[in-house]
Amino acid sequence: MTSLVTRAIICSVRAHGEHGAIVRALTQEAGLVAGYVRGGRSRTLRPVLIPSNIVQAEFRARTAEQLAGLTVELVHSRAPILGEPLAADAIAWICALTAASLPEEQPYPDLYYALGGLLDAIEAAPSARNWGAALVRYEYLLLARLGFAPDISQCVVSGSDEDLAFVSPKSHQAVSRGAAHGYEARLLPLPAFLLATVPARVADIIDGLRLTGHFLETSLFNDSRRHEIFDARERLVERFRRL
């Protein structure tokens, strides 16, 4: 990619040099794209370069191998909701996850729309009960697109798609309630909202976070990056437990 003009969701911002910043943003056409913003640490641009903000972005590079220069214009700011601790932790985690896990310049349009929808839901709803399940679904979708999601289509023991209630951390497949009898402690709960459009209680959301968290840790962040990336998620999960 040598040139791209598009809407983008800011996912991460890292200071570079005395005044600049390296920004990673999710786009519909090109997936996650990195760019250098000259003056990115200035008073003018700091409020624009906030993870979760939507910007009109222009990436330009002389060659495909060169880090693109990036100019941005704010389209929508989510800064006003970052004063809410639960919303702020959710946004920090989901944007950091996206920036750290996706390969650059590979399009995932469904993830782009799913992230935008999730951020809209967090912004619109004061209660996490209204968006907690969507956050778990986004994590599961991201795992699926990267090839690490468990198979929850049928029971690994019986082959049936009925009464699925657990996931085996060893086989990465669903297990029905009957087949799991006596082994529940060794399995991960599978919340019903991942299988069908049903209401999710806080306990169901926590079960979902436990499930996706296991596969995120073991498949994507099983190295030194785990401590860097998971701090926000651990704060988020703890806040859900207090609801």
Please give the CATH topology (third level) of the domain spanning 80-241.
de novo design (two linked rop proteins) (1.20.1440)
- Asked if pLDDT for residue 126 goes beyond 70, the answer is no
What type of residue sits at position 192? A
Would you place residue 225 in the very low, low, confident or very high pLDDT band (cuts 50, 70, 90)?
low
Q: Would the pLDDT of 171 be above 80?
A: yes
Instruction: Give the DSSP H or E segment for 148.
Output: none
Alpha carbon separation from 158 to 161, 170, 180, 194, 201 (Å, rounded) = 9, 17, 11, 20, 28
pLDDT tens for each residue of 28-71: 999 999 999 999 999 999 999 999 999 999 999 988 788 999 99
Name which CATH class applies to 3-77.
mainly beta
In the chain, where the domains are located: 3-77, 80-241
Q: Could you give the C-alpha distances from 109 to 28, 29, 34, 213, in angstroms and in order? A: 5, 7, 17, 23
pLDDT tens digits along 194-218: 999 999 999 999 999 999 999 999 9
**N- to C-terminal Cα distance for the chain?**
45
Instruction: Work out the pLDDT band at 224, boundaries 50, 70, 90.
Output: low
pLDDT of residue 212: 98
pLDDT at position 62 is 87
* DSSP line for 119-138: HHHHHH-SSGGGTHHHHHHH
